């Protein structure tokens, strides 16, 4: 039965993707609509259709869109907060999709990308060797070239210009050769530069001893340069680098009650954002805004087939308006420029959560991240001035400062106590010593959410809703799950008010009165 259900679900999903593609391709002025899309929206369309089937859409993208889409899609980290790394296999798939529109077309698209990026990408896929120079050097050193020749005979390779291009992995080799051949015909000077740089890096890879070290160092340096350029581009769009997100969240967790001054990470972020968004390109972006009206029907088509966002705390009614939201509305009426500053700060905080944190064992999706930022800042607003008018507090303190106040409070009063309660409950359970030790270590390190899986062991002796609620409270921005979710007046999914903070503490007190004093 389960297998049949799975098959139906997959078939339905495939039909939805095909239907979406057909409807998009029927749109009037499709080329203009696709080119007016924000890169993140374009990537959403491609992901929904499926990259393998999105060739017609990708073919319409501009070089600027592809650069920013690659910035987002080709770099991944295994764990939220870790530095992101380039994924060559995903790049290969993009090459194959571009080639569907024609070899010369793909070559033109690739030629518009940053040269350092192309060198790094192709070096991850191929070795480039000047064979005459290699064998001459081997002969001078008295080395036997026959073993090397036999190895080359069994390798996937192609001769281009004065170089032998050798596959470092068999997957996607045809696409690589096809594209390099097309570049040789229509962008020869670019290809020569790529081959020369890749050959310089590859020549060290085949040396003995220290040669391998040198090429790895050279490769990491180039990858670091490309990653830095990518971070610069994304910073100009408001994205937050994982390293900055880690730094901000680490300092926020240790913040005391005094958050009157802005932290160094946030200062640096907004200083750099201001520099990049007020340069010569800013006016061009503003002038292009009317063009974006052409994408309305395209995005509406996408929205029709997208599943609704999962709600952390589902309820029959819409969530109540937070005091923060009311204060923002009032601030907009009084001072639109200051309102804009607070909204930029909230967007920054949401990006921090996406880049550097987790919720319920998973990376933040953008919608959840904005909810997490709103709830945490709202709690900070209540903690900073319990009796004052929220809008007055919001005028004098930035959203990032209020977030830090609440974030430190939640770590101290909810997440860490939840870890201690979890370890205490596991200590009373037979054959759970390993899980208990893991939870205690994580709690001592003030990262109790990393032991979420071990807390699941409590399901054998405790009710599932209770365990779910306990797991939710382990998070950096504690999530309201199980009985805490149903009791939440806000229905936002995260601790957002002093009342909900007290409810979380009361829940932990009920589970372990000796560990968590009554609120």
Write the pLDDT tens digit of every residue in 357-373.
988 888 888 888 899 99
> In this model, does residue 499 exceed pLDDT 60?
yes
Token readout for 350 is 């949401």
Query: Which of 21-30, 49-58, 431-440, 510-519 has the weakest average pLDDT?
Result: 21-30
Predicted pLDDT at 440: 94
Higher pLDDT, 468 or 315: 468
Which two structure tokens, joined as six digits, stand for 103? Answer: 């070899």
Split at pLDDT 50, 70, 90, the class of 80 is low
Q: What is the pLDDT of residues 410-437, one digit of tens each?
A: 999 999 999 999 999 999 887 778 899 9
Instruction: Quick: pLDDT tens for 291-348.
Output: 444 445 555 554 443 433 333 333 445 567 889 999 999 999 999 889 989 998 998 9
- Identify the top-confidence range among 237-241, 381-385, 429-433: 381-385
Q: Which of 80-94, 207-221, 415-429, 478-492 has the lowest mean pLDDT?
A: 207-221
- Which stretches within 50-172 are classed as H helix? 55-58, 63-73, 88-99, 103-111, 115-125, 131-140, 146-153
Among 319, 342, 346, 320, which Cα is nearest to 391's? 342
**Residue 324 confidence (pLDDT):** 93
Tell me the C-alpha distance between 238 and 366, whole Å.
13
pLDDT at residue number 183? 94
What is the Cα–Cα distance from 101 to 99, expressed in whole angstroms? 5
Quote the mean pLDDT of the chain: 77
Q: Report, in angstroms and rounded to the nearest whole number, the Rg of the chain calculated over CA atoms.
A: 27
Q: What is the DSSP letter of 477?
A: S
Q: Which of 18-27, 99-108, 393-402, 423-432 is predicted least confidently?
A: 18-27
Answer yes or no: are the C-beta atoms of 490 and 382 closer than 8 Å. no
What is the DSSP track for 115-139? Answer: HHHHHHHHHHHEEEE-HHHHHHHHH
In degrees and rounded to multiples of 5, residue 237 shows phi and psi of -100, 0
Q: What does the pLDDT read at residue 187?
A: 94
Contact 157, 134 (CB under 8 A): no
Q: What is the pLDDT of residue 292?
A: 42
Residue 461 binned pLDDT confidence (cut-offs 50, 70, 90)? confident
Q: Is this structure's pTM higher than 0.85?
A: no
Q: Which of 305-309, 434-438, 447-451, 507-511 bottoms out in mean pLDDT, i.e. has the lowest?
A: 305-309
Least confident of 64-68, 74-78, 137-141, 239-243: 137-141
Dist. CA 513–CA 497, nearest whole Å: 23
Q: Is the pLDDT of residue 12 over 50?
A: no
The pLDDT value recorded for residue 142 is 56
Q: How many helices (H) and strands (E) does the chain have?
A: 28, 7
In the predicted structure, residue 117 carries a pLDDT above the cut 80: yes
Tokens of 310: 């999962």
Percent of the chain whose pLDDT exceeds 90: 30
Q: Which residue, among 117, 93, 124, has the nearest Cα to 227 in the 3D structure?
A: 117
Determine the pLDDT at residue 441: 95
The full DSSP string for 329-362 is: HHHHHH-HHHHHHHHHHHHHHHHHHHHH-EETTE
For the residues 170-190, what does the mean pLDDT come to? 90
Q: Which pLDDT value is given to residue 478?
A: 95
Q: How far is CA 216 from the centre of its chain?
A: 26
Average pLDDT over residues 245-255: 86
Q: How far is CA 256 from CA 195, 252, 259, 388, in A?
A: 55, 9, 7, 20
Tell me the pairing of strands 358-359 and 362-363. antiparallel
């Amino acid at each position: 039965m389960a297998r049949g259900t799975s098959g139906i679900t997959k078939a339905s999903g495939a039909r939805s993707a095909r239907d979406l593609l057909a409807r998009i391709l029927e749109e009037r002025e499709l080329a203009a609509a696709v080119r007016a899309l924000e890169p993140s929206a374009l990537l959403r369309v491609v992901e929904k259709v499926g990259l393998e089937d999105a060739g017609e859409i990708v073919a319409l993208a501009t070089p600027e869109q592809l650069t920013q889409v690659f910035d987002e899609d080709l770099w991944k980290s295994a764990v939220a907060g870790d530095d992101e790394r380039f994924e060559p296999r995903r790049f290969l798939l993009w090459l194959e999709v571009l080639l569907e529109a024609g070899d010369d077309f793909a070559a033109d698209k690739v030629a518009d990308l940053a040269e350092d990026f192309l060198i790094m990408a192709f070096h991850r896929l191929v070795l480039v060797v000047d064979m005459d120079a290699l064998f001459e050097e081997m002969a001078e050193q008295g080395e036997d070239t026959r073993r090397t020749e036999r190895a080359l005979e069994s390798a996937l390779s192609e001769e281009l210009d004065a170089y032998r291009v050798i596959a470092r992995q068999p997957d996607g080799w045809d696409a690589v050769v096809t594209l390099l051949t097309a570049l040789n015909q229509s962008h020869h000077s670019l290809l020569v530069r790529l081959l020369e740089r890749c050959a310089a890096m590859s020549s060290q890879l085949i040396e003995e001893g220290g040669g391998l070290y040198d090429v790895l160092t050279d490769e990491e340096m180039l990858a670091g340069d490309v990653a830095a350029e990518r971070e610069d581009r994304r910073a100009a769009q408001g994205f937050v680098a994982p390293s900055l997100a880690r730094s901000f969240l680490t300092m926020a967790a240790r913040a005391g009650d005094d958050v009157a001054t802005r932290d160094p990470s946030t200062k640096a972020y907004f200083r750099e954002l201001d520099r990049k968004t007020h340069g010569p390109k800013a006016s061009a972006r503003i002038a292009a805004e009317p063009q974006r009206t052409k994408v309305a029907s395209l995005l509406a088509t996408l929205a029709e087939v997208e599943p609704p966002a999962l709600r952390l705390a589902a309820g029959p009614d819409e969530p109540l308006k937070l005091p923060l939201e009311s204060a923002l509305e009032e601030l907009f009426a009084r001072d639109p420029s200051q309102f804009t500053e607070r909204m930029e700060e909230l967007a920054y905080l949401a990006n921090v959560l996406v880049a550097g944190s987790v919720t319920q064992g998973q990376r933040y999706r953008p919608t959840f991240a904005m909810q997490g930022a709103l709830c945490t800042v709202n709690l900070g607003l209540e903690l900073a001035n319990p009796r004052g008018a929220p809008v007055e507090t919001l005028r004098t303190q930035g959203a990032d400062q209020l977030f830090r106040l609440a974030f430190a409070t939640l770590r101290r009063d909810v997440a860490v106590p939840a870890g201690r309660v979890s370890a205490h409950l596991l200590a009373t359970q037979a054959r759970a010593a390993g899980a208990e030790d893991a939870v205690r270590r994580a709690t001592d390190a003030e990262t109790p959410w990393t032991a979420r899986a071990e807390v699941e062991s409590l399901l054998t002796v405790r009710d599932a809703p209770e365990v779910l609620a306990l797991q939710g409270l382990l998070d950096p921005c504690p999530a309201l799950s199980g009985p805490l979710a149903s009791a939440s007046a806000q229905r936002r999914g995260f601790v957002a008010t002093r009342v909900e903070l007290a409810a979380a503490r009361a829940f932990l007190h009920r589970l372990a009165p000796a560990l968590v004093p009554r609120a």
